[in-house]
Amino acid sequence: MLADSAADSTSTPTFTLPTSAADVTDTTRQAAGWLDDNWQGWVVDGLRIVLILGLALVLRAVVRKVIDKLVSRMGRPAEGDGDHGVLGGLLANSGVVNTERRQQRSEAIGSVLRSVASFSILGTASLMALSVLGVDLAPLLASAGVAGVAIGFGARNLVTDFLSGVFMIMEDQYGVGDEIDTGIATGTVLEVGLRVTKLRGSAGEIWYIRNGEVKRIANMSQGWSTATVDVQVGYKEDLERIEALVTEAAEQLSKESPYDELIWGRVKVLGVESVAVDSVQLRIEARCTPGKAAQVSRALRLRLKAAFDLAGVKLKEEAAATVPAQAAAPEVLPPSALADPNSARSLAAKPIPAQN
């Protein structure tokens, strides 16, 4: 009986259109009783929903604060080689990543982490609020599971692109402004997204490359580049003197602007690259700023040419002029007697006219 009465008290009353004052009084009394029986549950459910949403917002703010601190710590430059710790090591790339590059990567990672945290926390809070309101979550979760499996099979390439983009950013495989070769296309990076990377090719074309399709990446703008110059000198030239001239010209170039920032370290003469009959080829190597190898090589060739001209260095040995005897110019002979048609020899050489 108590269970029945409790069920009746919590059940929604049925209202009919009153036709008399007594009916109005009964209806008002029923509504007041129903409100009196259920208002406490409403207040409790409302407070629970407010508490759930409030805790979710507080948790979201705390998580975002932690992520911001993590991002700032990852983007902070290391004071020493081994002083960046575990978090700094996530963005350390053999000590060649500058501060601006680290900050860009940390901000990108922080944006992804904040989005994932907000979606997870607020989504869980919404499901808990629906559960408090009495919504049956079993069909909803089952439908979401089936939809998730279907989307996972249909959009597996999208998931692959997204995960590949996240790891590309975390590992600093390339960034905006880098010259890269993806195997599919080669060009300068214009934009790095979580799904698509945009490149501008050498002819001005723009390539849109899905991150999941990239199997290998050659980054020509990361760390440092090598400017290689091959110099040809005569076979009989003093190689030690040539090396001294090269070193002097390279040092002068490295002290002038803008090459004082482009050339890193001393220019090295690696040695003899090849030997020919009339020349010797030397290889010169200079470590320089990424992407500036061609500029440094051209400037170094120009300076070496000027230094060789000033020092009188021959680039090739001149071959000895050997003329064969039979090809010598003939001696001038006196004129022949036959050249004069009136001379005795010329007249004697004339044919005898035919006799009639």
Torsion angle, CA of 124/127/163/153, rounded to 10 degrees? Answer: 160
Let me know: does 229 contact 300? Beta carbons within 8 Å. yes
Specify the pLDDT at position 10.
Answer: 47
* Predicted confidence (pLDDT) per residue in 125-147, tens digit: 888 888 887 777 777 777 777 77
- Which has more pLDDT, 83 or 70? 70
User: Would you give the distance in Å from CA 234 to the centre of its chain?
Assistant: 44
Specify the pLDDT at position 58.
Answer: 92
* Predicted confidence (pLDDT) per residue in 268-311, tens digit: 888 888 898 888 999 999 888 887 888 889 999 999 999 999 98
Let me know: does 199 contact 189? Beta carbons within 8 Å. yes
DSSP string, 180-238: EE-SS-EEEEEEE-SSEEEEE-TTS-EEEEEGGG----EESSSS-EEEEEEEEEETTS-
* Predicted confidence (pLDDT) per residue in 18-44, tens digit: 566 666 666 666 666 666 666 666 777
Distances 226 to 10, 178, 237, 265 between C-alpha atoms, Å = 82, 16, 27, 11
Task: Tell me the one-letter amino acid at 317.
Answer: E
Residue 266 DSSP code: E
Confidence of residue 5 (pLDDT cuts 50, 70, 90): very low
DSSP string, 14-42: P-----SHHHHHHHHHHHHHHHHHHHHHH
Task: Report how far residue 308's alpha carbon sits from residue 243's, in angstroms, rounded to the nearest whole number.
Answer: 11
In total, the chain counts a number of residues equal to: 356
pLDDT value at 172 more than 50: yes
Residue 148 DSSP code: H
* Predicted confidence (pLDDT) per residue in 213-272, tens digit: 888 888 887 778 888 899 898 888 889 899 999 989 998 898 888 888 888 888 888 888
Strands 196-200 and 206-210: antiparallel
User: Would you give the distance in Å from CA 251 to the centre of its chain?
Assistant: 33
pTM for the structure as a whole: 0.48
pLDDT value at 87 more than 80: no
- Residue ranges and CATH numbers for the domains of the chain are 172-219 (2.30.30.60), 225-311 (3.30.70.100)
Phi, psi of 117 (to 5 degrees): -65, -45
